[in-house]
Amino acid sequence: MIQPRFSNLPPGFRIQRETNTEEFFINMGPQHPSTHGALRLALRMDGETIVELVPHFGYIHRGMEKQAESMSYLQYIALSDRQDYLTAIQNNLGVVIALEKGMNVGVPEKGEYIRVMLQELGRIASHLVFYGCFGGDLGGQTCLLFGFKEREMIHDILEEVTGSRLTTNFFRPGGSRYDVPDTFIPRVKAFLDHLEDAMRDYERFLSKNIIVLERSIGIGVLSKEDAIAYGCSGPVLRASGVEFDVRRANPYSIYDQFDFDIPVFHNGDCYDRYKIRIAEIHESMKILRQCIDKFPKDGPWRSKEKPVRLPVGRYYSEIETAKGLYATYVVAATTGEKPYRIHTRGPSFPHIAALNKMVQGHKVSDLVTIMATLDPVIPEIDR
Amino acid sequence: MQENITLLQYFKRYFKRCITGPWSLMCGLSVSLKYFFDPRRIVTEQYPENRKTLRMHPRYRGRLEMIEDADGNNHCTACGMCERACPNASINVLSTKNIAGKKVLGRYVYHFASCTQCGLCVEACPFGAIRMNQDFEVATTDPNTLEMILNKKEGQG
């Protein structure tokens, strides 16, 4: 390859006119700040362009599914907090719905409303972390603080209701652990009014920013066919133009009683994956406002408490967390307190698997953007 | 992404972005400045200074403690339900026998170092003998303080 640009250098500094490019490998991670946890990405590079990417998992493997075999069902609910720590309250529900199918218990109306409201609060919290990390990974640390500011308010509400900010351990078969306090509804209402204003600011801050547009439009395109083939779900799938949401396709809890849209974008690039999460925050706010209007004043919030013992059988549940489809499969070989096997299908693993398809031909800095918009949580992949 | 556009279209877009680009950055900066100057938008807590007034919510799961009256009597019957419910073996209930030959609580040993504060023990207790307190400053320099005996009086009941 001839490089005429350097021909005016003095003779001592002259660079070889004929250069051969050679592929080389670099490691990204496991402690790279933009990999969202301990994930190692082995990159095959041609110059600054990525040719191939191989993700390596397992740095924080804790053997949760194996641990579950020696745990009772209730203890596994506490363990499910530690999978995807950003959507802990949603993981709780995924496990609990599978247990309820086995125990054959129903949930009173107030209990269902509590569930839906906490689900949507958790979804907003997770998407706000995405907003912060997306801006932060692109170099705007202001976004990081903006996103975490509102998330802090959600965690305050969660702390008051469940007793813990992140590891909530709240839902139980037949309802939840506690009733909500009286201050819950006014606090959520005040928070929604605040978030409405804040989101306007945040979108103004990032959505039209020229640096974000240049770095995200047309980057990391995942086609509709690939997204389906790799098993992507959640916002990543919907940004590629597939209208699939478990809340609509296979409604659990009382999601069929609410009026909300499922935002779908069609380009499948980083900017669409950003926009869809912003749109989903607005949809969650819509659901929360409907919940506040219809929230039952009194009535039971939990069906009659029973010991958690499952009859022999196989039970499956799937829910839509903020990241995507979260499914739990429980096998009970003997009637009792302990499972034979619990398997979890987490949303982040297929997204990382599809990463190789998205980054080919892009630069390393684009890989950071793509990783941010996939919003993976590595402890949930490794488990 | 490869796009097929004419040179004229390219330059048109280029100059348009020269105007809209800086404008979008100014919009973003205006948001920053709004948050910078408006004192109502300050959310930071001055943590070590507000220690006196900082209280956790009543449901907050801090350290495990035994509900005792002034004389040190508790409701624990050493049934061991909390020990069974604990996912990581943080609780050891050591029972003993009183003079009448009845099984009573000897020592309630609590390993705070391995506790994840899930609260399953409190939920499992049929007598309401234990609770989680609102203590959140639990860091210590002495690991021996993490092993604690929760009941003050041995062999009661």
Domain range holding A367? Answer: 65-382
Please say if the pLDDT value at position B62 is more than 70: yes
pLDDT at A298: 83
Kindly write down the DSSP assignment for every residue of B85-141, as one continuous string: H-TT--EEEEEEE-TTS-EEEEEEEEEGGG-----HHHHH-SS--EEE--------S
Q: Would A306 be classed as within a structural domain?
A: yes
Residues of B with CB under 8 A from a CB of A: 1, 17, 20-22, 24-25, 27-28, 31-32, 34-35, 43, 56-57, 59-61, 85, 87, 116-120, 123, 132
Q: Would A113 be classed as within a structural domain?
A: yes
Q: Would A172 be classed as within a structural domain?
A: yes
> Which residue is associated with the tokens 């991670």?
A29
Q: Would A272 be classed as within a structural domain?
A: yes
Residue B65 CB partners (closer than 8 Å, separation 6+): B130, B131, B132, B133, B150
Q: Report the gap between the CA of A306 and the closest CA in chain B (Å).
A: 12
Nearest beta carbon to residue A209 from set B25, B87, B117: B25
Q: Are A30 and A338 in contact (CB under 8 A)?
A: no
Q: Cβ of A75 under 8 Å from any chain B Cβ?
A: yes
pLDDT at A124: 93
Nearest beta carbon to residue B87 from set A79, A205, A209: A79
CATH of the domain at A241: 1.10.645.10
Q: Are A87 and A158 in contact (CB under 8 A)?
A: no
Question: Can you name the CATH fold of B64-149?
Answer: Alpha-Beta Plaits (3.30.70)
Does A75 sit within 8 Å of B60, measured CB to CB? Answer: no
Element (H, E) at A128: helix A109-137
Q: Would A126 be classed as within a structural domain?
A: yes
Mutate to test the interface with A, among B19, B35, B36, B88 (most CBs of A within 10 A): B35
Does A71 sit within 8 Å of B1, measured CB to CB? Answer: no
* Number of compact structural domains in chain A: 1
- Domain borders along chain B are 7-41, 64-149
Q: Chain B residues with CB inside 8 Å of A209's CB?
A: 24-25, 27-28
Q: What's the rounded Cα separation, in Å, for the pair A308 and B5?
A: 65
Per residue in B68-124, pLDDT tens? 887 777 888 888 888 888 988 889 888 888 788 788 888 888 998 898 888 889 988
Q: What's the rounded Cα separation, in Å, for the pair A44 and A180?
A: 52
Distance of CA A107 to CAs A78, A235, A302, Å? 20, 29, 6
Q: Would A24 be classed as within a structural domain?
A: no
State the 10-residue block means of pLDDT for chain A, 383 residues long. 47 59 83 77 86 87 89 89 88 91 88 90 92 86 85 90 88 86 89 89 85 86 90 90 89 88 89 91 91 87 83 90 91 87 90 89 88 87 86
pLDDT at A9: 53
User: How far from chain centre, in Å, is Cα A330?
Assistant: 22
Nearest beta carbon to residue A78 from set B34, B56, B118: B118
Q: Would A326 be classed as within a structural domain?
A: yes
Q: Chain B residues with CB inside 8 Å of A146's CB?
A: 35
B91-97 and B64-66 strand pairing: unpaired
> Which residue is associated with the tokens 């048109």?
B12
Q: Chain B residues with CB inside 8 Å of A74's CB?
A: 85, 120, 123
- Two structure tokens written together for A118: 């906490």
Q: Report the gap between the CA of A257 and the closest CA in chain B (Å).
A: 31
Q: Would A244 be classed as within a structural domain?
A: yes
